[in-house]
Amino acid sequence: LTSLKKNELINLPIKITNSNIKCLEHVSLLTSIRFAKRGQIALYLTSPSGTVTELLGYRYKDTSRRWFSRWRFTSVHFWGEKPLGKWLVQIVLNGAGNGQVRRMFIELFGSSNDETCKTFA
């Protein structure tokens, strides 16, 4: 459980030390986040190789107070990369109010076949 505050940047590292996957096809971030207005949250994911993708941008017209409960944010932006190392989830809050991160899991999908990985490069 991580507390979120107004206009704050939260860095949540996730270390992957063991995986049968040798090259990625897509990555999913499964999370539960509660904030005063969910349109004021942006999510970014950085791979161990340094690739950054925006999983969720600000949506100023989304004033819903319903929280993201077990939402899956998925990206193919890391195609062909190796999964091992430190991943970084960044949550950026742009607005008034407080919130919480209740869950955060990363799921990696890819190939364990060296020949398949060669075609990704």
Q: Evaluate whether residue 117 is within a structural domain.
A: no
Q: Evaluate whether residue 30 is within a structural domain.
A: yes
Q: Evaluate whether residue 13 is within a structural domain.
A: yes
Q: Evaluate whether residue 44 is within a structural domain.
A: yes
Tell me the C-alpha distance between 58 and 17, whole Å: 32
The identity of residue 48, as a single letter, is P
| Range of lowest pLDDT (12-21, 37-46, 48-57, 103-112) | 37-46
Residue 60 is part of a domain; what is its CATH number? 2.60.120.260
Q: Evaluate whether residue 119 is within a structural domain.
A: no
Q: Evaluate whether residue 116 is within a structural domain.
A: no
Mean pLDDT over all residues of the chain?
Answer: 87
Q: Evaluate whether residue 75 is within a structural domain.
A: yes
Provide the residue range defining the domain that includes 96. Answer: 2-111
Dihedral (CA of 81, 50, 32, 18) sign: positive
Q: Evaluate whether residue 118 is within a structural domain.
A: no
Q: What is the pLDDT of residue 85?
A: 98
Place of tokens 């999913």: 28
> Closest by alpha carbon to 43, among 106, 85, 86?
106
Q: Which helix (H) or strand (E) holds 91?
A: strand 85-93
